[in-house]
Every structure is written in C-alpha cells, then in structure tokens.
Amino acid sequence: MTPTIDTSIQVTDQPPITDHQPRSTTNRANAQHSTGPRSIIGKQHSALNAITHGLTSQSPVLPAEDPAAFELHTQYLFAEYKPQAPTEKQLIRELADTSWRMNRIPFLERDILMLSATLPACSINVDLPDLQTCRAVEEGLRRQERLLANLSMHGHRLSRQFHKTLDKLREIQADRRETEERDLKNAAAILELHKHKGIPWDPAEDGFVFSKAEVGTCSRRLIHMNEARHIEHIRFHTGPQIKNVVPAL
C-alpha cells in the first residue's frame, strides 16, 4: 500500500506559534487596561502612598528638589560660621544636611493636610454613607494621622541632631579661638621684647603661624588696652582727690 502525504501541513523555517506568552508580556498588556483607583477616596489613598519624605535617605536632596538651592543653603552656613579646621567643615556640612531635611517637614505636613482639605463634599453621602465608604474614610484618616505622627517623630529627631551638632561646633570653635588668642598674645609679648632689644624677629622662629602684621596689630591693641585701663581706673574708680589747703596766717 502506497503511503499518502498530507499536503495541508506546510513546513517553514519559522518557530511554531504557541499560546504560551511570557509572564512579563502578559503583565504589561494587563497594565495597559488598569486605570488605577477611580473613586475619590481611592485616589486620596494613592496620593498618600506617593508621599515620600526622604528624611532618612542617604542623600539629603530629593530628585524633585533643586541641588543648586541646597548648595546655596550650605554656603550660607559656611559664611556664617567661617570654619577653619576640617572637623569644623564636616560639622557644618552635617548642619546643612540636617537643617535641609528639617525644612522639608512643614511642606510635607501641608501636602498631607491638603489632601483632606481638597476632598469634594459630594464624594461622600453624609446622610446615608455605605459601609465601604465609611471604612475607607476611617482608614484614610488613620493613615493621615500615622504620617503626621511619623513626620513629628523625625522632626524631633532631626532637631536634636541639629542642636547637638551645633553645640559641638561652637565648642570646638571656642577652644580654637581661645588657643589662637593666647598664642597671639604670647607672640606680641615676644615681639615687644625684641623691639626693646633692637633686634629683628620673625614669628615663625618660635613656631607661631601668625604673620608679622597680625602680631604687630595685636601688640598695638594690647598697648592701647593697657593705657585705656589705666585711664579708666583714674577716671572711674579712684576717689576724689582733696588738695591740702594751707591756711593763711
């Protein structure tokens, strides 16, 4: 018996077509038909989910914020505290980081409160609300309270961190200024000694980092202060002098 060939089957080089599509392709196709939350309450919940405070993020600047504004904010702090040592500069950067995050909190609180303020009155049937709507409103209010409480917690934490860093910076700068003032007075005293001896003197010879002009200015200021104290004592602290009057004979 001669075998027959089924000519309805065509052989091609293309892979066979199957109904099994990759899961990712199916998910993307389904996503095109998703419209997200449709109700006002659902949209409010979605807006709450979209709020990102970034108060604990690695970078102090969020993608929606202006990096140039943060740099200007940092420069203002550097201009105010005028750091000298690397430790002081590091502390000022921490102040800029912390204060930038703290300044964001009021705007976040405003956004959260505005979500409730903008809820249309007609979106809820106050006279006869259904159970699902009541639960949705209650859940929305609870989430709002949790978000506000969370921001308050971070605000107190950042405030404590800011003042702790500021106190440390002020302590370091006060110690530095005290040391500089003491060394500058010592340099001024040595300068006057060399002037009295009539020999030149360079502050670097005794390990001072001040310039000759700085030491000379300090020396003149100390001399003027001593003269002023002397006049002050005579004019304000010495009792009236009674002249001895010789009686006429």
Q: What is the pLDDT of residue 45?
A: 47
Predicted confidence (pLDDT) at residue 140 exceeds the cutoff of 80: no
Query: Where is mean pLDDT largest: 1-5, 31-35, 166-170?
Result: 166-170
Are the C-beta atoms of residues 206 and 172 closer than 8 Å to each other?
no
Structure-token pair, residue 249: 């004979």
Say whether 201 sits in a helix, a strand or coil: coil
Read off the pTM: 0.63
Residues 8-18, mean pLDDT to the nearest whole number? 48
Predicted confidence (pLDDT) at residue 55 exceeds the cutoff of 80: yes
Separation of alpha carbons 109 and 103, rounded Å: 11
Nearest to 141 by CA among 165, 164, 161, 115: 115
List of long-range contacts for 210-214, beta carbons under 8 Å, 24+ apart: 210/183, 210/184, 214/184
What percent of the chain shows pLDDT beyond 90? 47
Separation of alpha carbons 156 and 168, rounded Å: 18
Separation of alpha carbons 219 and 215, rounded Å: 6
Separation of alpha carbons 50 and 105, rounded Å: 16
**Domain chopping of the chain, boundaries:** 64-120+129-235
Residues 22-45, mean pLDDT to the nearest whole number? 55
Token pair 């003032």 in the structure block, residue: 181
The residue among 249 and 87 whose pLDDT is bigger is 87
185-217 residue pLDDT tens: 999 999 999 999 999 999 999 999 999 999 999
